[in-house]
Amino acid sequence: VLSFSSGMEKVVACSYKRPNALCRLICFPWAGGGTAQLAQWGRLFSSSIEVYSVRLPGRETRFKEPFAKDMTTVVNEIASVLLEDLQEKPFAFFGHSFGSYISFAVALHLKEKYGLEPIHLFISGAHAPHSEAFLPIKRIHDVEDEDIIAHLKILGGTPSELLQNEDIRKHVILTFREDLRVLQTFSFEKADRNIPLSCDITCFDGSEDIEHDLEAWNDITSGDISIYKLPGGHFYLLEPSNEIFLTKHITRCIENSDL
């Protein structure tokens, strides 16, 4: 079995190693998030798909590292660590919310710099990056701690008993703020007639989440785009029934592309 390099071990969690998989699914976390939930998706996929979950600095085993300062730093690190793996066999990206923007930024970088592209981009709970609807996110600055905690409780991505612990709560708030700051350094200007990607894009959204501008993802690929609304709020993807739908649908999309 191929062992992970130290850089890889740091940046990627792979709980279910499948060296013979035909394709890798690289998952990108939401703001304030780590690798725990998405790395566990590995157990739901067949042996043809190996799941990587990306770990940003400042959390989990990278707790002692400073947070990334901007999107360029995040993208460069992920791309350089994963490059060999991505050149070796086909790959797809899945990102939720903040993770959707990272996954798109990494896809863009790989295409421009190495001519590499995911066979499929799976976007969840996110506006298209050049959409007007994305702009207010870039203006969020002075968020109160209470608002972040309230937000996290609504999102349900962080167990509330953890938030009772002062140190954990402080770190969760800090991580969320730092991720938001990275997001605010990301901008994508859609140039006329320039369609940056050619892969198919599937957009997932929670039916009770705020409306996301999903249609506009159409502008950034010459491939097909499909949209699915699943029951639930912003963290609809953590519901076991939705997890099953997502992993089955993602498997079907990947197995139907010409691997």
Active-site annotation, residues: 97, 234
Paired residues of 221 in beta bridges: 197
Distance CA 128, CA 178 (A): 21
DSSP-derived 3-state class of residue 21: coil
Q: Which two tokens stand for residue 148?
A: 């972040």
Distance CA 218, CA 121 (A): 12
Question: Which residues does 104 contact at the CB level (< 8 Å), separation at least 6?
Answer: 95, 121, 123, 129, 188, 220
Distance CA 259, CA 253 (A): 11
Distance CA 177, CA 135 (A): 17
End-to-end CA distance of the chain: give it in Å, rounded: 22
Q: Return the number of other C-beta atoms located less than 10 Å from residue 184's C-beta.
A: 15
Parallel, antiparallel or unpaired: strands 49-54 and 12-13: antiparallel
Distance CA 221, CA 119 (A): 12
Q: Which two tokens stand for residue 142?
A: 């002075």
DSSP 66-81: PPP-SHHHHHHHHHHH
Distance CA 138, CA 189 (A): 14
